[in-house]
Amino acid sequence: MQKIKLKKIIQNDNNYFDKFLELDIIFLDLIRYTESRQARGVFLEYPQVENEVRVIKERINNQIVDFLKFGIKNKKLKSDEEADFYFDMILSFAFYYVKEKNNHNTDELFKKSLLTLINGIQKE
């Protein structure tokens, strides 16, 4: 499901940075699911399901890194080869808000973090 959402976001005609901000839901949903008690219970009972979920998660991660590389290649983002670093920052924000913050406005705070990151890494 998330893979389909990701493709729709990346392939739409929106501005690159608008698409970047739309990734927030995918990150949070994916982390919330894989870190949930229900998922851990299923993973313990059915290890092959965990492996399949991890393969899907890896594909999604790769697509997002490719999206970041696209931004670098097309001079939208600073730096030469920082896509993996940017991805790690985004994941760090997402994990922080999902695991550490028990707020009702987690989604809003994560989006604000993405916006701050974008402002710091976009080419002027």
Closest to 18 measured CA to CA, from 98, 90, 114: 114
For residue range 63-94, what is the model confidence (pLDDT) as tens digits? Answer: 888 888 888 888 888 876 688 888 888 888 88
For residue range 4-30, what is the model confidence (pLDDT) as tens digits? Answer: 666 666 666 668 888 777 777 777 777
Model pLDDT, residue 8: 65
Helix axes of 83-95 and 106-121: crossing angle, nearest 10 degrees:
160
pTM over 0.75: no
Q: Please give the Cα distance from 88 to 109 (Å, whole number).
A: 17
2: confidence class by pLDDT, cuts 50, 70, 90: low
Domain residue spans in the chain?
Answer: 2-121
Q: Tell me what the mean pLDDT of segment 34-50 comes to.
A: 78
Third-level CATH fold of 2-121 = Tetracycline Repressor; domain 2 (1.10.357)
Model pLDDT, residue 80: 64
